[in-house]
Amino acid sequence: MGQTIAEKIIAEHARVECVVPGQIVTVPVDMAMANELSAALSIKELKSWGIEKLFDTNRVCLIPDHFTPNKDINAAGITRTVREFANKHDIKWYFEVGRAGIEHAVLPMEGVILPGQIMVGGDSHSCTAGAINCLATGVGSTDIACAWATGDIWLKVPQSAKLTYSGKLPPYVYGKDLILYALKDLGTAGATYMSIEFHGSVFDQLPMADRFTMANMAIEAGGKTGIFRFDEKTKELVESTPRYKAEKPSYKTYDPDPDAVYAIERKYDVSNLEPMIARPFSPDLVGPVSEIKNVKIDQVVIGTCTNGWLDDMIRAAEILKGRKVHRDVKAIIIPGSQKIARQAFDLGLPQIFIDAGCVFSTSTCGPCIGGHMGVLGENDVCVSTTNRNFKGRMGHITSRVYLANTSVAAASAVLGRVGSPVEL
């Protein structure tokens, strides 16, 4: 019986010929990552176990990004705990604020993780790294502590879902629309504990940024991970990273077998798709943006880990150049990493954003989780390129969040209401 991508990666790490869905295996992890919030809990667990030594400090990654720059005294204490832990153990992949960004952008862009590897992260959107043919998944802080201590983790082999996209992409339709369209079909539980494989010729028309966006939101369908096949675009990104240039590490890529077995198979023709939008209060309440009429907004958030890539910054700038954000709207733009911010500066994008009346922020998860840098107040309405819009996700429980692609968000900022770039 043929194997899917996830099954092949797990089997290789478990040193067995093949695995089957539902099987419990113990595998070595190539990288165990945590942000300041999950790391603080993992550090506490290690102390309670009396463990003083990590299995391999080169396979541990720490990236403060959620409440950073420190939003309050408590956050400052948490980040200090993580920094001291990193210094004590001389952790190679510790990224201080100002030298990294958001974990899910930093890991693949710096080359911390590679194709064919298994990465566990103390954050549900760790599955973002599946865009580079890596099996990446979010786990709890106790699991992270165990991985730091032993180098291993147990996994239940997931079933796999195969989503195939065909057709020519219409204007202003990107990876965010493709994953929202799939969420409309699958729902938030339709691929529970599955590895979602993304296939199709459509991805030849899109940059890697859109693959990261889609892998990021695999979790919104209940997925264990989202994963793409390896191709020339992947190779170009992987081999342009600082780590690869410095170390030339070897890596192995994986394709599914022709007779691989999938629990779910879906085929989507995107030729007539228009920009999609998810209504409050669930990422699967999806429809065309043209169906949303007369919804005034108070805030727009563009960026963070889901749509904070350079291509997203460029798309936003194309809409905002020469225009002004509506007088009643706050627009906040957050690049996914310091590197992306630098690339944006090199292209003059922040000047376009500032001239339009936007805030151009340092990299942070802040507003996405209702933490800081754009928390929503009572009855506020926001169009956001982030990944979740549950009640209270970005602030007050009465606030409402619409999820959309970068161009839709930028256009809405100008219009002062939910709207499409075609209106401009």
pLDDT for residue 80 = 96
Query: What is the distance between the terminal CA atoms of the chain, rounded to a whole angstrom?
Result: 52
How far, in Å, CA of 167 to CA of 160, rounded?
23
Please tell me the distance from the alpha carbon of residue 317 to that of residue 303, in angstroms, as a whole number.
12
Query: Which two three-digit tokens encode residue 217?
Result: 């939101």
User: Which two tokens mark 275?
Assistant: 């920009």
Residue 373 CB burial class (10 angstroms; 0-12, 13-18, ≥19): buried
Q: Give CA–CA dist 156/163, Å, rounded.
A: 22
Q: Which two tokens stand for residue 73?
A: 């005294």
**pLDDT for residue 1:** 79
Dihedral sign of CA atoms 320, 217, 392, 102 in order:
negative
Please report the pLDDT score of residue 295 as a whole number: 98
Q: What is the DSSP string of 267-336?
A: EEE-TT---EEEPTT-TT-EEEGGG--S-B-SEEEEEHHHH-SHHHHHHHHHHHTT----TT-EEEEE-S
**Residue 344 has which token pair?**
């944006």
DSSP 303: E
Residue positions counted in the chain: 424
d(CA 419, CA 33) in angstroms, rounded, equals 38
Q: What are residue 91's phi and psi, to 5 degrees? A: -75, 125
Domains of the chain: 5-266 (3.30.499.10), 276-423 (3.30.499.10)
Fill in the DSSP letter of residue 335: -
The single-letter code of the amino acid at 107 is L
CA–CA gap between residue 363 and residue 308 (Å, rounded): 9
**Other residues' Cβ atoms within 10 Å of the Cβ of residue 53:** 9
pTM of the model as a whole: 0.97
The number of CA neighbours under 13 Å toward the Cβ of 265 is 6
**What pLDDT tens digit does each residue of the chain (424 aa) get?**
799 999 999 999 999 999 999 999 999 999 999 999 999 999 999 999 999 999 999 999 999 999 999 999 999 999 999 999 999 999 999 999 999 999 999 999 999 999 999 999 999 999 999 999 999 999 999 999 999 999 999 999 999 999 999 999 999 999 999 999 999 999 999 999 999 999 999 999 999 999 999 999 999 999 999 999 999 999 999 999 999 999 999 999 999 999 999 999 999 999 999 999 999 999 999 999 999 999 999 999 999 999 999 999 999 999 999 999 999 999 999 999 999 999 999 999 999 999 999 999 999 999 999 999 999 999 999 999 999 999 999 999 999 999 999 999 999 999 999 999 999 9
